[in-house]
Chain A
């Protein structure tokens, strides 16, 4: 239990340490990150769709 608590407090510490991005959020950076989010969202949707169709067949 103590190990888990230590682990989660470490995660919280990391989240706090890196809470603010240091890169200058220029327009190009913002657009790149937004496109990346959409791209990854679509990819995850495709993987979930594939997973469901495989489960249905099985």
Chain B
């Protein structure tokens, strides 16, 4: 075989792999990028404003953490063809099933409220009233979901994922010092020592990287897309690329606020956007657009995670490939979850701070259980066969899960009792 034939053969082989990846890509990318939701953007903006570039190394550590947890849902979904809620019901019985399902409903609904808070705050910067934002979002999301095809929904969601990359040009526009980023951000350090404030922010970053709805969403998404065991390799690659993108976006947000707002007190991303507008109008506008998009993407995935889980357990048709007539309860539950959460930020004097606090605390009750069930299910050789966890995978995933449980518990407890660790 001559050189050009070999080159052509290699090119065809690579092109075939790329086409296969593009066909399978979706659940991993969407879930990982949606992980940078409104709450996540606030956390990263606050991290950059408070500690500059100093915690970039810590964010990089979250790539394997997010990947190892989420790739397990790909294997579980592709092998069992069941969502996470159904898998828990079937494997651990009704008690643990109801506990997970009810907890998931509460966490998802509360998180949805925070997404709407983020979206209304973001568009209020451009003079859009909150009620109009809520109506537009509910309409837009209904149109996206009601098209009757998973494929179309996924491609639209991937379009919103692309918009999440808006923080990358924003970071270049603030002209950060590459030497400072490398010097301060890539060498592990704890600025000012490990005090209560730093510890809380580190835990918040972990909490926003691994959320309970992500496990339920990705597994149901893998099932709805119809991924098979042969697709697991590409599904894992999809998740890995997604975890790199999500952390990269987080780092670019840290660079933006670390460069322009270093030392400024940031309580939420909308405040950061307003402050950025005073320094650089376009960067501030990018921050606001990114915040709205993050809230929208989060809301799309979270509301679907709930509807899928409900459908799995109640035996309703629960696929995006079905029309409203074929799966009325699936779409009704989606719409009710969305609309009721959207109304809350419009109520004058609604306890939004309390809701944010509740999200953190209730998530702490669900996340450890969901993660423990995930590992136990991945060790069920009878069901998983060759796709069960290997001893090495068990060591890595168990270490990550135990660390997440300890840190998220401390995060939840410190949210309940803010003075406990001072």
- Hey, which bits of chain A sit against chain B, CB under 8 A? 10, 14-15, 18-24, 28-29, 32-33, 36, 39-40, 43-44, 46-47, 50
Closest A residue by C-beta to B379: A28
For B354, give the chain A residue with the smallest CB separation: A54
Closest chain-B Cβ to A45's Cβ sits at a distance in Å of 12
| Residue ID in chain B nearest A51 by CB atoms | B416
A18 to B409, CA, bound (A): 29
- Whether the Cβ atoms of B417 and A50 lie closer than 8 Å is yes
Measured CA separation A18–B86 after assembly (Å):
10
Could you say which residues of chain A place their CB within 8 Å of the CB of B376? Answer: 23, 28-29, 32
Given contacts A18-B89, A43-B409, 7 further A-B contacts (CB under 8 A): A14-B89, A18-B90, A21-B92, A29-B376, A36-B369, A40-B369, A46-B416
Task: From known contacts A46-B413, A47-B361, infer whether A33 and B314 are also in contact, taking CB-CB under 8 Å.
Answer: no
Contact B369 A43 (CB under 8 A): no
A24 touches B382 (CB 8 A): yes
With A29-B376, A32-B376, A36-B372: A23-B92 Cβ-Cβ less than 8 Å: yes
Beta-carbon contacts of B345-358 to A below 8 Å, as 1s and 0s?
00000000000000
A residues in contact with B377, CB < 8 Å: 23
CA distance A40 to B412 in the complex (A): 12
* Chain B contacts for A32, CB-based, 8 A: 372, 376
Judged by a CB distance under 8 angstroms, whether B93 is at the interface is yes
Chain B residues whose CB sits within 8 angstroms of the CB of A39 once the complex forms: 368, 409
Task: Give the distance to chain B from A49, nearest Cβ to Cβ, in Å.
Answer: 9
CA distance A22 to B90 in the complex (A): 6
Once the chains bind, are B416 and A47 in contact (CB under 8 Å)? Answer: yes
* Docked complex Cα distance between A42 and B326 (Å): 43
Question: What residues make up the interface of B, taking CB atoms closer than 8 Å to A?
Answer: 89-94, 96-97, 99, 313-314, 361, 364-365, 368-369, 372, 376-377, 379-380, 382, 409, 412-413, 416-417
Q: What is the CB-to-nearest-CB distance from A46 to chain B, in angstroms, rounded to a whole number? A: 6
Q: CA of A46 to CA of B362 in the docked complex: distance in angstroms?
A: 12
Taking CB atoms, residues of chain A closer than 8 Å to B99 are 40
Task: Report the separation of the CA atoms of residues A20 and B314 in the bound assembly, to the nearest whole angstrom.
Answer: 17
8 pairs from A and B in contact (CB 8 Å cutoff)? A10-B314, A14-B89, A18-B97, A23-B376, A23-B377, A40-B369, A43-B364, A46-B413
Nearest B residue to A25, CB-CB: B92
A18 and B417 contact, Cβ closer than 8 Å, known pairs A23-B380, A40-B365, A43-B365 = no
Return chain B residues, CB-CB under 8 Å to A46: 413, 416
Shortest CB–CB separation between residue A8 and chain B, in angstroms?
Answer: 13
Contact of B93 among A10, A19, A40, A50 (CB under 8 A): A19
In the assembled complex, the CB of A7 is this many whole angstroms from the nearest CB of chain B, namely 10
Distance A35 CA – B417 CA, assembled complex (angstroms): 23
CB-CB under 8 A from A22, the residues of chain B are: 90-91
Closest to B377 in A: A23
Q: Which chain A positions have C-beta within 8 A of B361?
A: 47
Nearest-Cβ distance from residue B379 to partner chain A, whole angstroms: 8
Question: How distant is A11 from chain B, measured CB to nearest CB, in Å?
Answer: 9
A20 to B222, CA, bound (A): 26
